[in-house]
Amino acid sequence: MPSAPAAINPAEATAVVTGATSGMGRAVAMRLLDEGWTVLAVDINVEGPIKDRLPAARHRTCQADVADRIAVESLINEHAATLPPLRAVVNAAGVYPPSNLDDYTEHQYRAIFDANVLGTVNVTSSTVKPMRAHGLGGTIVNFASADAFSVSPGQLLYSASKAAVVSLTKSLAIELAPSGITVNAVAPGWVDTPGTRGNDRMAAALPGIPLGRAAAAEEIADWVWKLVSAETSYVTGETLLIAGGAALR
- Which residues are marked as active site? 158
Contacts of 188 (CB under 8 A, 6+ apart): 24, 143, 145, 146, 215, 220, 242, 243
Q: How many residues does the chain have?
A: 249
E runs forming strands in the chain: 14-18, 38-43, 59-63, 86-91, 138-143, 181-188, 191-192, 215-216, 239-242
Tell how strand 191-192 and strand 215-216 pair up: parallel
Q: Which of 31, 38, 44 is nearest to 11 (CA)?
A: 38
